[in-house]
Structure 1
Amino acid sequence: MSVKTKTARWSYSKHQWLGLIGGISLLVWGLSGLTHIAMVLFGPQQAQFMPPAASVELEGARPIAETLAQQGIGEAVAVKTVPAAGGGVLWQVTGDPLTARRYFRPDNGSEVAGGDRAQAEFLARHYLATDRAITSAKLQTEFDADYPWVNRLLPVWKLEFSGDDGLTAYVHTETSSLAAVNNTTKNRLQSVFRALHTWEWVPPGMDWLRVVVIALMVGSLLALGLTGIAMLVTVRRKKRLPGARGWHRIAGYVLALPLIMFSASGIYHLIQSAMVPPQSNLAMGKPVNVASGKWPIEADWSLIAKERDIASVALVEGAAGQPLYRIGLAPPKGSMGRGEHDHGPAKAPAEHGMEGHDHAAMMAAQAAAKVPTTDAEIREARFAGIKPDGPAIYLEAATGKLVASGDKDLARAIARRFTGAPDSAVTGVELVTRFSHEYDFRNKRLPVWRVDYGAPISASLFVDTGAGVLVDRVADREKPERLVFSFIHKWNFLFPVGRLAQNVLVGAFAIALIGFMAVLGLRMDLVRRLRVRRDGQGREEQSGTAFIHK
């Protein structure tokens, strides 16, 4: 008997044996996978992509240092301006990262009562463009089934709106962002996905059993795909078989490879997740000594703001541990800056001995992107990672002097605080302006700085210099799996066609797999089992041999 015939017989017997468990597995993971695509394509969508516009005007305002001193605030994790309802800005002060933020009016330093909830409502109405009544508002400090850990951001305000659709917004006031938006339909789809695709209903103490069972079931899909390809190669047909068997074989030529891609990458992801449980690595920096910020930035505001559109002001910790004012400059109106390079300090008033290149010329040189306005454009922008961004000026909070170093040096210093590793271990520092397989859209922040470390850290840290925050940390050993899962399981190699077309194509292949491989395969398996029961095992073996040689 030739090798080809032996291979054909072996693959046929194993393909039949795997048919039942493989068909059921394909139905379970195929249908539940479609719920994720449905959430992306048809889930509730924000009406506005850009955050509320705000131009910082602090001339004649009360110095923030005096306001903080009066409130007895000597240290804070973050102090920065944020857009305010009705225009202008407020000072936002973060003490304990998991508690509500405090807000102070720049003009007189008075505190806004219930400011964090009011800010969350303002942001939710801006992003969703709704005037519906809010029926419930709760500060959420833990992840749950409706707001799982993949959303990364905590704490968030959970705002429930009136109406039969169960519209719910999760607002992260620290970043002025809409962390998530749900409705009844999306919640149901999420429940199906967690129950059937990730099996999150399994108790934590039995996670090993979840991994074993899923690995066996998804492994049967991989084995079905491989044995199916072996049959296609070794068993040639002069004409198409009638009925379900003919359609099943034809579909195999197109769908065997996608089946292998989904199942193999799924198993890899499952094993990697079991070895390194996924978690949010988001961490805010240590409190900054704001009491030492004696220089009143407000007194020189007319010089600082001259011929500049200033979008934000923040107190951050510098590379040497000193408090700095970070003056964030806005991109041109109607466009979105990419922040593609570390420009160092931008041009600042000559009275402070600050020299640099002109902000307007620099921003004109940057590539500008049209602000997304339609539903499709907003969905695409959220996943692509386009974010408003401009350069920044750094001034010493104690003296007002220009800090020669820029975001790149600060990024290195922030990473050093979270790792404790010397700068000699750093192998690279670069600005990240778009999401990728290593830094995906779930992190929600852009731009960020990527700091790569060699041994002993052997990881990449992603930091937000505007807030001194560690956004994510990815160990080198995790990167191959992230690449495989992104490009092989999620099919992100289709990115040139756009997010919408990509999801439509993946969904179409998933439906084809379910219809031609699972449904037809299970039907064929049922017919075979009924025939075996009727005719006996011996006749079934003859039928198998006849199939091979037919």
Structure 2
Amino acid sequence: MHSRLKRWLYLLHRWLGIVMCAFFVMWFASGVVMMYVGYPRLTAAERLQHLPSLDPAAPLLGPAQALAAAGIPSMPQDLRLSAASAGRPVYLATLADGSRIGAPVAIDAATGTMLRAIDAAHALASAAAYAGGGVQAHYAGLVHEDAHTHSRALDPHRPLHRVQLDDEAGTLLYISSRTGEVVRDAPRTERTWNYAGAWIHWLYPFRGNLFDRHWAAIVDGLSIAGIAVALTGTVVGLLRWRFARPYRSGSRSPYRAGMMRWHHLAGLAFALTTLTWIFSGLMSMNPWGVFGSGRGGPAVAAVYGHTGAMPAGAASVQMLLARGGDIRELRWVHRLGRELVLAYGPAGRPALLDARTARAVGLDPGELRHAAAGLVAAPLARIQVLDRYDLHYYDRAPHTMTGGGNKPLPVWRIEFDDPAATWVHLDPYTGSVLNSTDRSRRASRWLFAMLHSWDWLPLLEHRPLWDAVLILFSLGGLALSLTGLVIGWRRLRLSRRSFRA
């Protein structure tokens, strides 16, 4: 290699590495924290477990009556009944507002009055119902966004009431100012480790302030700089390594001892995993929209059918709750053109009830298969029944970035013969479209989730093997970046002294 090119390569790695090694240290250390403690969230399972049971004897309005009393003429995007607001039953409706996320409203199930002003007393009552008896709750103020609530899914509920519980976990609750329901819980452990984990790893210090609009560009820019450091370091490390014959010292590295030697050896040993993690971190941001197919989602109306006004002859809430069991929430849905109700308990799959008769029903597999063929305007290639998780449909721990969702089994994978090679995952029990993916999204799965979190079933299903592998490579990357940080600091001190002289 030309000597001048070599020198520029060394200089680029040296001075860019002085800056980036500090970020590398932070990313490797916080990544290990995130393996066990994630960003605060309220999972669906946690929400159901903390909801009070619905009383079959309570004098509650039916959904059609409640919507009419609240001045809502048509069926909302989503309609649920639960004792989620101040401990009393409310209809939680998501109204279409032309945006990606609908506008949530709460309707008192006893009077049909729409809740409009959720004050501190209301928030405290919601927190007390969530916590159960014997736990004191203290109002902690109203906040638009803080270190634990950067998720865009919370935007329709902002500003958020904060309530501190005196429970053993030291839980901080965030309550919607639109509906009065608990939308996030953050125990003390999650809050504390969040600063050493997800908050710093995702560069959230740049969120919720004047840098917010530039956050994605900052992450992308630092990731690209990190890739440049790792690539140049790999080339420099290989150029300095004697493959044919060793140096006079007998070593194949020119550095006999000290930080330079350890940095050289760690760089050669962990360059590939370091580069892989930085690159996959960049891919998580979908830079320049590389994974955007430009196609919309599946036409769910093919399976769901008509979603107009609630039928006048719908079964009463009392009839639905009389089906028995500890019912925490009712959700009205349309499947195959029929009005159905999903009755959720504190855990497990919901009961599927007819919205008119309150009787338990099941979906006809043949009819469901026929309807599912219309989810995408393309020929149906095949329907595969998944009885276990695979590389593209799998579940992760609730605290992880991709965990805590609804991933039931068995599930249907409906594959279409369209240019994007679209797949749709559908729950044959409830008829719910769970997600859709195409060729570009599957590429994102490989380049992000697989390379960054190592979401590979042979590892995930044989823990602590997954833990050992990721911690080993994280410690290697940490050694590489820490030695680089020390070398960089010494170089800066030397340059400063030379400048003074």
TMscore range, shorter length: 0.5 to 0.7
SS in structure 1 at match of 2:105: coil
Structure 1 residue corresponding to 2:266, chosen from 245, 248, 251: 251
RMSD of aligned residue pairs (Cα, Å): 5.7
Q: Which residue of 2 is the match for residue 405 of structure 1?
A: 363
Q: Which residue of 2 is the match for residue 25 of structure 1?
A: 20
Distance change in 2, residues 1:264/1:327 (3 Å) = closer
Q: Contact (CA 8 Å) 1:314, 1:325: kept in 2 or not?
A: yes
Q: 2: CA distance between counterparts of 1:44 and 1:516? A: 29
2:74 aligned with 1:75, yes or no?
A: yes
Distance change in 2, residues 1:310/1:51 (3 Å) = closer
Distance change in 2, residues 1:123/1:115 (3 Å) = same
Pairing 1:516-527 to 2, within 5 Å after superposition: 516-520=483-487, 522=488
Pairing 1:246-395 to 2, within 5 Å after superposition: 246-269=261-284, 272=287, 274-276=289-291, 288-298=307-317, 300=319, 305=323, 308-320=325-337, 322-328=338-344, 330=345, 388-395=347-354
Question: Which range moved further: 289-298 or 497-506?
Answer: 497-506
Shift of 1:316: 0.9
Pairing 1:129-528 to 2, within 5 Å after superposition: 131-137=136-142, 147-149=149-151, 151=153, 154-155=156-157, 158-161=160-163, 169-171=173-175, 178-179=183-184, 181=186, 190=199, 193-194=202-203, 211=220, 214-229=223-238, 231-232=240-241, 234=243, 236=246, 238-239=250-251, 241-269=256-284, 272=287, 274-276=289-291, 288-298=307-317, 300=319, 305=323, 308-320=325-337, 322-328=338-344, 330=345, 388-395=347-354, 397-398=355-356, 403-405=361-363, 421=377, 424=380, 427-428=383-384, 435=395, 441-442=401-402, 444-447=404-407, 452-454=414-416, 455-456=418-419, 458-461=421-424, 473-492=436-455, 495=460, 496-497=463-464, 508-520=475-487, 522=488
Amino acid at match of 1:18: H
Amino acid at match of 2:442: K
Shift of 1:502: 8.1
Q: Contact (CA 8 Å) 2:54, 2:329: kept in 1 or not?
A: yes
Identity between Structure 1 and Structure 2 (%):
14
Q: Which residue of 1 is the match for residue 105 of structure 2?
A: 100
Distance change in 2, residues 1:38/1:156 (3 Å) = farther
Shift of 1:58: 2.6
Q: 1: CA distance between counterparts of 2:497 and 2:154? A: 53
Q: Contact (CA 8 Å) 1:435, 1:441: kept in 2 or not?
A: no
Q: 1: CA distance between counterparts of 2:142 and 2:446? A: 39
Deviation per residue, 1:122-162 (Å, 9 max, x gap):
55556678634224347x7xx89863346577436612347
SS in structure 2 at match of 1:22: helix
TM-score (ref. length: structure 1)? 0.60
TM-score (ref. length: structure 2)? 0.65
In the alignment of these two chains, the number of paired residues is: 454
Shift of 1:317: 1.3
Q: 2: CA distance between counterparts of 1:157 and 1:468? A: 34
Shift of 1:25: 1.9
Q: 2: CA distance between counterparts of 1:467 and 1:53? A: 22
Q: 2: CA distance between counterparts of 1:409 and 1:123? A: 42
Shift of 1:402: 5.7
Shift of 1:292: 1.0
Shift of 1:250: 3.6
Amino acid at match of 1:251: A
Question: Which range moved further: 478-487 or 91-100?
Answer: 91-100
SS in structure 2 at match of 1:18: helix
Which runs of 5 or more residues in structure 1 are unaligned?
1-5, 332-387, 534-550
Deviation per residue, 1:15-67 (Å, 9 max, x gap):
56522213422323432564565577678868994632544443575561444
Shift of 1:477: 1.0
Q: 1: CA distance between counterparts of 2:179 and 2:412? A: 21
Q: 2: CA distance between counterparts of 1:247 and 1:202? A: 37
SS in structure 2 at match of 1:101: strand
Amino acid at match of 1:478: R
